[in-house]
Chains A and B, each alone.
Chain A
Amino acid sequence: MCALCGVLGGSGHWTDAAARPGVFTRNVDGLQRRRERAHRIACASRVLNYYGLTLSDWQASSYVLSTATGKTEIVDNLTHLWATAEKLLGRSCDPLDPDLIVRLETFGG
């Protein structure tokens, strides 16, 4: 837990038990873990751009999600990310939305 702000870490989200064991689950290979997190943020950002949201890393333990007007929330994992994005936006983020699909198909996000 972060002593300053009380954020609990290590919640064990299923996406963290990654394809490469150890990357997220054990305290080994910090560089690889940072690389994974950067990749995850880059991938998520291409989808989040569609909604005008940005995502950044926070202390290699959580993420910070912000709107264009500066509303900001800390998120712990990918499940939390989408629920928080919907809360900040006040509308749903649907991966089956044909407009989003067309955008990803056309521009790669």
Chain B
Amino acid sequence: MAEPVFIPVNLITGFLGSGKTTLLQRLLGHPALADTAVLINEFGEVGLDHHLLERIDDTMVLLQSGCLCCTIRGELSAAIKDLHSKRGRGQVPRFRRLVVESTGLADPFPILSTVQADPVLRHHFRLGNVITTVDAVNGTAQLARQPECTKQVAVADRLVLTKTDLAQAEATDALIARLRRLNPSAPLSRAAEAPLDAEALLSHDLFATAGRSEAARRWFAAEVTPRDDEAVHDRNRHDETIHAFALGFDGPLDWTLFGLWLTMLLNRHGEKLLRVKGILNVAGSSAPVAVHGVQHLVHPPVHMAGWPDADRRSRLVFIVDGLDRRLIERSLQAFLRQDAGSGEQVLNQTALA
């Protein structure tokens, strides 16, 4: 039986006025993305985003009921199903990718969970990269004041910094440093200064590249800087309770114990665990297993084709909101230590941690 083909769904998110539609417009002009369907969200009386979008073909469905995050999960699911049904009946071109543009005020999580958890959608679609636009002029203030904005940055697979031509260079550098603390592993592009690589933004995701040898390295993005979270934080700022850290372990992990620990952690602290991403050296498996979760939602783990280099350590990156790094580390070690099958498993912390 042929392997099922899942249509990737990309989410473009970013705070109000951060350039989501402009980015979308530029991406859709790329010939490689000609067979992409787009769902955009009407916010308020005037479909402003709709009028700004020049090229939407016939595959666009407007969502009418306002904010995507809280009111129309059902409607989003219905809109995607409708689009899929029309595709099957030949009423719209056979698109091979779907891009959803959310409103600036949306928490991206419910949108992702709609695609992954809906009993019909999950058999036809899979999540692709989440692309978050950040406005170089207003981004610092938005991150400080708007919890949605911080969350949008934390869950991003790709960050696109817009309006860098309008912002002071020092302010942009400070903003980039802040973005790196919130999300150390997402590749960052500057929309105003360079041509955008549409393929890299939309297509190079974990599932699409799992068969390639370089995939693990690229996906995991080696630029995770150790001890980033040790920087001095001003705890009064909302975004400063959100921080990222990496843990590294020598030796293979027991998958069952890891799953037990992560499900228990997500059950209790899922909302505060904005992102967990890692490559695991799993006992009994010669190739690495990639895990990837956004809040309560964990993507199906991917068996990579092979290790990208000689490094066989398990590596995990967490982006958390207000959770204690040391407790997470101790808790994971305590859970993994109770591996009865292989005796006491000692997890040596490596240079990553």
Identify the A interface with B (CB < 8 A). Answer: 12, 14-15, 17-21, 36, 39-40, 42-44, 46-47, 78-79, 81-83, 86, 92-96, 98, 100-101, 104-105, 108-109
Contacts and interface: CB of A to CB of B under 8 A. Distances in A.
A105 B301 CA distance: 28
B58 interface: no
A15 B283 CA distance: 15
Contact of A96 (B255, B265, B283, B298): B265
Contacts of A100: 331, 334
B273 to A, nearest CB: 11
Contact of B330 (A14, A39, A92, A101): A101
Contacts of A42: 340
A104 B263 contact: no
Nearest to B291: A14
Contact of B337 (A15, A17, A21, A108): A108
Contacts, number: 99
B257 A105 contact: no
B145 interface: no
Contacts of B298: 14
A43 B327 contact: no
Nearest to A20: B284
B328 A15 contact: no
B259 interface: yes
A79 B341 contact: no
Contacts of A44: 260
B334 A101 contact: yes
A43 B256 contact: yes
Contacts of A81: 263
A20 B255 CA distance: 9
B285 A20 contact: yes
A95 B335 contact: yes
